[in-house]
Amino acid sequence: MKSIILCAGKGTRLRPLTHTSAKHLIPIANKPVLFYAIEAIKDCGIKDIGIIIGETGEDIKSELKEGDKWGVSISYIEQKEALGLAHAVSVARDFLGEEKFLMYLGDNLLKNGVENYANKFIQGNYNAFVLLTEVDNPRQFGVAELEGGRVVQVVEKPKEPVSNLALIGVYFFDKNVHQAIKNIKPSARGELEITDAIQWMIDQGYKVGAEVIKGWWKDTGKPDDILEANRLILEDIERDVGGAKVDEKSQILGRVKIGKGSEIINSKIVGPVIIGERVKVVDSYIGPFTSISERVEIRKSEIECSVVLEESKLEYIKGRMQRCLIGKGVEIYHSKDLPRVYEFTLGDHSKVGLL
Q: Tell me if 167 contacts ligand G1P by CB under 6 A.
A: yes
Q: Which is nearer to ligand G1P, 189 or 318 (CB)?
A: 189
- Residue 272 DSSP code: S
Give the DSSP per-residue string, 41-106: HHTTT--EEEEEE-TTHHHHHHHHTTSGGGT-EEEEEE--S---HHHHHHHTHHHHTT--EEEEET
Which stretch, 88-96, 161-169, 174-182, 324-332, contacts ligand G1P (CB under 6 A)?
161-169
**One-letter amino acid of 69:** K
Distance of CA 180 to the CA centre of its chain: 28
Output the smallest distance, CB 218 to ligand G1P, in A: 9
List Cβ<8 Å contacts ≥24 apart for 138-146.
Answer: 138/163, 138/164, 138/165, 138/166, 140/166, 141/166, 141/167, 142/166, 142/167, 142/193, 142/194, 142/195, 143/167, 144/210, 146/210
Q: Which is nearer to ligand G1P, 29 or 198 (CB)?
A: 198
Spatial contact of 208 and 125, defined as CB atoms under 8 Å apart: no
- Total residues binding ligand G1P (CB under 6 A): 12
Q: Which is nearer to ligand G1P, 79 or 301 (CB)?
A: 79
Ranked by CB distance to ligand G1P, the top (closest) residue is 142
Q: Which of 169, 259, 271, 276 binds ligand G1P (CB under 6 A)?
A: 169
Q: Which of 22, 166, 258, 309 binds ligand G1P (CB under 6 A)?
A: 166
Which helix (H) or strand (E) element contains residue 200? Answer: helix 194-203
Spatial contact of 233 and 250, defined as CB atoms under 8 Å apart: no
Residues 134-153, mask of contacts with ligand G1P (x by CB under 6 A): -------xx-----------
Output the smallest distance, CB 141 to ligand G1P, in A: 3
Output the smallest distance, CB 144 to ligand G1P, in A: 9
- Please, which of residues 194-253 interact with ligand G1P by CB under 6 A? 195, 219
**One-letter amino acid of 148:** G
Q: Which is nearer to ligand G1P, 166 or 256 (CB)?
A: 166
- Please, which of residues 295-354 interact with ligand G1P by CB under 6 A? none
- Please, which of residues 94-123 interact with ligand G1P by CB under 6 A? 105
Look at the chain and count its residues: 355
Q: Which is nearer to ligand G1P, 167 or 281 (CB)?
A: 167
Please give the residue ranges that form the binding site for ligand G1P (CB under 6 A): 85, 105, 141-142, 156, 166-169, 193, 195, 219
